[in-house]
A = this chain, B = another copy of it.
Amino acid sequence: MSNTRLSSFDFEHIVKAALDEDISHGDVTTNILVLSVTTTHATIQAKQALTVAGIPVVQKIFELLDPTISLTLEHGDGDTITTGQVIASLEGCTRSILTGERVALNFLQHLSGIATLTKQFCEAVHEFPAKILDTRKTTPGLRKLEKWAVTMGGGLNHRMSLNDGILIKDNHLAILKTQGINITQACRLAKTNGPHGLRICVEIESLDDIDQALEGQADVLLLDNMTPELVHQAVTQIKGRAIVEVSGGITLTNVREFAAAGADYISIGALTHSAPAVDISLDIPFSA
């Protein structure tokens, strides 16, 4: 069950901006070559194995551009498909289909890229209870869509913004240290001053910090940039007295080790900031 939602209300303005950005004053090539009365059939196809995300965006794009286009779905967000499978087919005004192609693919390839990478991380740890989380390292303007794509790949969403979680990070601790405030005191300060509905999460740089944090009644310990071995030691030391999240330096190669070390949550910035686009194309059959 997801803690995010995707309504067209949330992304319509992004779609409009993207169409405006790409079409600008008009698709000059299509307009000079294709008569406005021509209609055609086209398919959107996977050119590699991938997990789909972004279909509601594609629907909105063609709805905004030309409500007479009919879009038939073969697959929806969250489906994992293989090379050559058709995701959707389009029928209608040729000009509109060609004009919307690039914007539709840009969204679909980017979001499915995120879903696909997330899926790979989730599968790598499937034997363990650890859950894969995203971060706030998202592309500016696309956070809701990218976090949606993460859930389509089987991941969970971490904080959506600075407002919906207390996370005491290294820079906060550095500032507080100059004022003579240690980790224990920082956690207590957060408990006293913070909204009563938020748990206290604190970043842990070394095993020495753990006891201080637990003494401050931290609810979640975020083990930052530790090796799987250190994580294992930390989990042993924590003994279930706090939730354990790990972050930093996690790759498809080593994620299983972190899960095996006992982490409850593994948060990975690369899910959203470095997932390569997957290959998807819009094709018009010659015999159309």
How many Å lie between the Cα of A28 and that of B196 in the bound state?
12
**A257–B3 alpha-carbon span in the complex (Å):** 38
Q: B270 to A3, Cβ gap below 8 A?
A: no
Given A1-B31, A1-B32, A178-B287 in contact, is the A22-B161 Cβ separation under 8 Å?
A: yes
**Is the Cβ of A65 less than 8 Å from the Cβ of B9?**
yes
Within 8 A of B (CB), among A109-144: 109-110, 113, 136-144
Q: Does A168 contact B (CB under 8 A)?
A: yes
* Measured CA separation A167–B192 after assembly (Å): 20
B102 touches A136 (CB 8 A): yes
CA distance A55 to B8 in the complex (A): 23
Please pick, from B33, B171, B195, the residue contacting A28 in the complex, using a CB distance under 8 A.
B195
A157 within 8 A of B: yes
Q: Given A9-B65, A283-B171 in contact, is the A140-B107 Cβ separation under 8 Å?
A: yes
Once the chains bind, are A27 and B162 in contact (CB under 8 Å)?
yes
Q: Per-residue 0/1 for A5-38: is the Cβ within 8 Å of any B Cβ (1 yes, 0 no)?
A: 1010100001111110111111111111111001
B283 engages A144 (CB within 8 Å): no
**In the assembly, what is the distance between CA of A166 and CA of B22, in Å?**
14
CB neighbours (8 Å) of A79 from chain B are none
Contacts A32-B1, A161-B25, A286-B178 given: A197-B171 contact, CB under 8 Å?
A: no
Q: What residues of chain B lie closer than 8 Å to A4, measured between beta carbons?
A: 25-26, 31
Contacts of A140 in B (CB 8 A): 14-15, 17-18, 21, 103, 106-107, 110, 141-142
Interface residues in A43-80 by Cβ distance below 8 A to B read 64-66
CB A38 to nearest CB in B, in angstroms, measures 7
**Nearest CB of B to A61, in Å:** 10
Binding site for B on A (CB under 8 A): 1-5, 7, 9, 14-19, 21-35, 38, 40, 42, 64-66, 94-95, 98-99, 101-103, 105-107, 109-110, 113, 136-144, 147, 156-169, 171-172, 174-178, 186, 189-190, 193-199, 201, 219-220, 243, 245, 264-265, 269-270, 273-274, 276-277, 282-288
Q: Which 5 A-B pairs have the closest CB atoms?
A: A25-B160, A18-B140, A24-B161, A165-B197, A164-B164
